[in-house]
Chains A and B, each alone.
Chain A
């Protein structure tokens, strides 16, 4: 267990994506961008509105609240 929402992630900490609970067009687009189960992800900045900038597969993505609150992540245990 220990899964949290991407939106709740601590800044600059390593996580892996566990689950994506999004409706189809968006979830497929995310998958095409390489956001899949097991993908390492790291949150760089966060806004009050819920938008995040994440680093994923070597690039930065800005994601809105609906997306960030529907992706489940797990902390990487070293």
Chain B
């Protein structure tokens, strides 16, 4: 935070789904660092912008409803804005649901820091025929500057920045409205006590109020003996006083309330229908994957042709330049075949992420928690636990982080245990490759079935965990359902581009390095470079382990090498295969070279391999994230062992069933 000595820090604070991140993106432009799962932003993000010769360091925080510390998001945001570095707070407010947003505003005002309100979604307000009295509203909120903006249409941004710069010196009066005489009396006394013990303390009123609410963190950070004044928690009175003041504001400032918001209700009548809700969800997900596999595979075909051409060109080039044979092998068969092979899956992955982004941005995702609540409830989890699972279709790392939105540590761990079974986009290349090789026109169906199997295993795991759980969970689903909106092209573009960038970075780093290591492991043996990979170090080691996988039909040392390498990143299973059966980038010749080594390798073996890859140990990045989020090495190790066990059992089962049909 200190690397910009001349900049000053501005924190964006607001409710979930108020358009905070969209506004943040609109102002900081391309400088945005990380894409956002709306409502599931779990860490603060920074961006800088220069305006009127001032450098502003903007900080985007997770959306919160209040400054208490019941959730991790609230803690992150609260610690961020209580930091003395923060000079101005921009309170982003969704004007179309002013009533709920103002509760946070009132709390922020009590902090006494300079505040500028960005009144977002004014276009929605106008569309609905609502009107806000822009003179009365600031009057009732300590005269803070209130700037109407539209983050999506990028309106009002300069005015907002101007207001931030010119307001940074202003100190908002801490007293936005008065509580009952009794409470005010106690607040005054507490302020005096706090002032005496911590003379340099800012926002004394806020801390006094928090002490009255019996806030644990405040009393821990600033221990003072106030037991004579705080004889009980006054939190309910304080909250109700705030809401009754909000009622006054709404009465005086908002007109034509709820004139029309029927659109969302009409869509919800179908999508959250008690009977049709679940089928609707299944159809939507099926469509997502149908698009991913059919359209994606079609585009992928062109990329493969290009890659083959590239391999030939480079090969010819190296031949004419008389480059050493081993180097040519490394570049053509190791790097181009490995990394390039991964890049051909980009179309599938882009389509998948576009679909997920649309689901997120439209406001449907929150409904999934409600729709799936019945089913998840039977498994002892809240419907909210389904959201990390869906995010898991994209990438398991953010999905595991998204478990933070769950209420209890037990729910979090259970969800972390099952989320890796949701097939992430890195596993997609494995299915596309092997189903394409062995299942012909049924390829898309087989790929899709992997996703279904992943969900079923995840649900079954949750079910079993619940059976052994003595203290059953109560159904505490609590989630806000935003209004539906047309997905914003810009947010989707940013979101998808970030994911593509991650994928490309991974291809250029982890996968690139893994490809080289695998190539060397396969081409170097006890006697130096080997002509046949069979004599390499990798083969020698893998042959020891291979027999263990016999029940799964995977007792081939090549498979063992690929699976081990795949722990670095699941795509590496594919790159390893292409490197192992070299000179085989496009489908047909890889099929031939597998068949030439293992004539008995049939569709059943391929299916077992896919199942194993779906379920076994997630990649290193995921393991590290699980370790960090669960704060337990024991839990992390146990979950890895569990996943290997499940992968072994399921692929053995699938192999033996499939063999009955394939022969």
**Chain A complexes with chain B:** yes
A-side residues, CB < 8 A to B, are: 25-26, 28-34, 36-37, 39, 44-51, 53, 57-67
Q: Does B453 contact A (CB under 8 A)?
A: no
Q: Are A49 and B103 touching (Cβ within 8 A)?
A: no
Which residue in chain B gives the minimum CB-CB distance to A45? B272
Q: Are B478 and A26 touching (Cβ within 8 A)?
A: yes
Q: A33-B100, A34-B103, A64-B475 are in contact. List 5 more A-B contacts (CB 8 A).
A: A31-B236, A36-B243, A39-B243, A45-B268, A62-B478
Q: Does B377 contact A (CB under 8 A)?
A: yes
How distant is A66 from chain B, measured CB to nearest CB, in Å?
Answer: 4
Give the CA-CA distance A61 to B384 in the complex, in Å: 13
Which residue in chain B gives the minimum CB-CB distance to A29? B70
Give the CA-CA distance A14 to B134 in the complex, in Å: 30
Nearest 9 interchain pairs by C-beta: A64-B477, A49-B374, A64-B475, A66-B474, A62-B370, A32-B66, A60-B481, A65-B475, A51-B373
A selection of 29 A-B contacts at a CB cut-off of 8 Å is A26-B478, A28-B239, A31-B235, A31-B240, A32-B66, A32-B68, A33-B65, A34-B100, A34-B243, A36-B243, A44-B268, A45-B272, A49-B373, A49-B374, A50-B377, A50-B475, A51-B370, A51-B383, A58-B97, A59-B97, A59-B481, A60-B482, A62-B367, A62-B373, A63-B478, A64-B377, A64-B475, A64-B477, A67-B477
Q: Are B374 and A51 touching (Cβ within 8 A)?
A: yes
Q: Are A47 and B68 touching (Cβ within 8 A)?
A: no
| Given A31-B235, A34-B100, A58-B99: A47 touches B65 (CB 8 Å cut-off) | no
Give the CA-CA distance A56 to B65 in the complex, in Å: 14
What is the number of residues of chain B that contact chain A, defined by CB distance less than 8 Å?
44
Name the B residues within 8 Å of A51 (CB-CB).
370, 373-374, 377, 383, 475, 477
Partner of A30, one of B265, B366, B474, B478: B478
Q: Does B279 contact A (CB under 8 A)?
A: no
How distant is A62 from chain B, measured CB to nearest CB, in Å?
Answer: 4
How distant is A42 from chain B, measured CB to nearest CB, in Å?
Answer: 11
Q: Does B382 contact A (CB under 8 A)?
A: yes
Q: Are A47 and B97 touching (Cβ within 8 A)?
A: no
Name the B residues within 8 Å of A31 (CB-CB).
235-236, 239-240
Name the B residues within 8 Å of A57 (CB-CB).
97, 99-100
Count of A-B contacts judged by CB separation below 8 Å: 122
Say whether chain B's binding surface is mostly helix, strand, loop, or mixed: helix
Partner of B480, one of A28, A37, A50, A60: A60
Name the B residues within 8 Å of A33 (CB-CB).
65, 100, 478, 480
| Given A48-B274, A57-B100, A59-B100: A64 touches B478 (CB 8 Å cut-off) | yes
Which residue in chain B gives the minimum CB-CB distance to A70? B474
Q: Are A48 and B100 touching (Cβ within 8 A)?
A: no
Name the A residues within 8 Å of B243 (CB-CB).
34, 36, 39
How distant is B229 from chain A, measured CB to nearest CB, in Å?
Answer: 21
Give the CA-CA distance A48 to B68 in the complex, in Å: 33
| Given A37-B240, A51-B383: A58 touches B100 (CB 8 Å cut-off) | yes
Give the CA-CA distance A37 to B243 in the complex, in Å: 11
Give the CA-CA distance A25 to B408 in the complex, in Å: 11
Name the B residues within 8 Å of A29 (CB-CB).
65, 70, 478
Q: Does B308 contact A (CB under 8 A)?
A: no
Name the B residues within 8 Å of A50 (CB-CB).
377, 475
Q: Does B35 contact A (CB under 8 A)?
A: no
Residue of A31, A47, A64 with highest tally of chain B CB at under 10 A: A64
Name the A residues within 8 Å of B240 (CB-CB).
31, 36-37
Partner of B481, one of A49, A61, A67: A61
Name the A residues within 8 Å of B479 (CB-CB).
61-62
Name the A residues within 8 Å of B369 (CB-CB).
62
Give the CA-CA distance A50 to B383 in the complex, in Å: 12
Q: Does B304 contact A (CB under 8 A)?
A: no
How distant is B544 from chain A, measured CB to nearest CB, in Å?
Answer: 51
Give the CA-CA distance A73 to B240 in the complex, in Å: 17
How distant is A72 from chain B, measured CB to nearest CB, in Å?
Answer: 15
Which residue in chain A gives the minimum CB-CB distance to B96? A58
Give the CA-CA distance A5 to B97 in the complex, in Å: 26
Give the CA-CA distance A61 to B243 in the complex, in Å: 18
Q: Are A47 and B235 touching (Cβ within 8 A)?
A: no
Q: In the complex, which residues 55-106 of chain B have their Cβ closer than 8 Å to any Cβ of chain A?
A: 65-66, 68, 70, 97-100, 103
| Given A51-B374, A61-B479: A28 touches B274 (CB 8 Å cut-off) | no
Name the B residues within 8 Å of A58 (CB-CB).
97-100, 257-258
Name the B residues within 8 Å of A67 (CB-CB).
475-478
How distant is B656 from chain A, measured CB to nearest CB, in Å?
Answer: 37
Q: Does B407 contact A (CB under 8 A)?
A: yes
Q: Does B273 contact A (CB under 8 A)?
A: yes
Name the A residues within 8 Å of B268 (CB-CB).
44-45, 53, 60
How distant is A10 from chain B, measured CB to nearest CB, in Å?
Answer: 15
Name the A residues within 8 Å of B374 (CB-CB).
47-49, 51
Give the CA-CA distance A63 to B478 in the complex, in Å: 5
Give the CA-CA distance A60 to B97 in the complex, in Å: 10
Which residue in chain B gives the minimum CB-CB distance to A46? B274
Q: Are B236 and A64 touching (Cβ within 8 A)?
A: no
Partner of B239, one of A36, A44, A61, A63: A36
Which residue in chain A gives the minimum CB-CB distance to B408? A25
How distant is A27 from chain B, measured CB to nearest CB, in Å?
Answer: 9
| Given A64-B475, A67-B476: A47 touches B274 (CB 8 Å cut-off) | yes
How distant is A34 from chain B, measured CB to nearest CB, in Å?
Answer: 6
Give the CA-CA distance A7 to B265 in the complex, in Å: 20
Q: Are A32 and B373 touching (Cβ within 8 A)?
A: no
Give the CA-CA distance A48 to B65 in the complex, in Å: 29
Which residue in chain B gives the minimum CB-CB distance to A54? B481
Give the CA-CA distance A25 to B80 in the complex, in Å: 22
Give the CA-CA distance A49 to B498 in the complex, in Å: 38
How distant is B431 from chain A, measured CB to nearest CB, in Å?
Answer: 33
| Given A44-B265, A45-B274, A64-B383: A34 touches B99 (CB 8 Å cut-off) | yes
Map CB proximity to A onto B249-282 as digits: 1 under 8 Å, 0 otherwise: 0000000011000001100110011100100000
Name the A residues within 8 Å of B373 (CB-CB).
47, 49, 51, 62, 64
Name the A residues within 8 Å of B65 (CB-CB).
29, 32-33
How distant is B132 from chain A, measured CB to nearest CB, in Å?
Answer: 13
Give the CA-CA distance A10 to B264 in the complex, in Å: 20
Which residue in chain B gives the minimum CB-CB distance to A23? B474
Name the A residues within 8 Å of B100 (CB-CB).
33-34, 57-59
Which residue in chain A gives the minimum CB-CB distance to B236? A31
How distant is A49 from chain B, measured CB to nearest CB, in Å?
Answer: 3
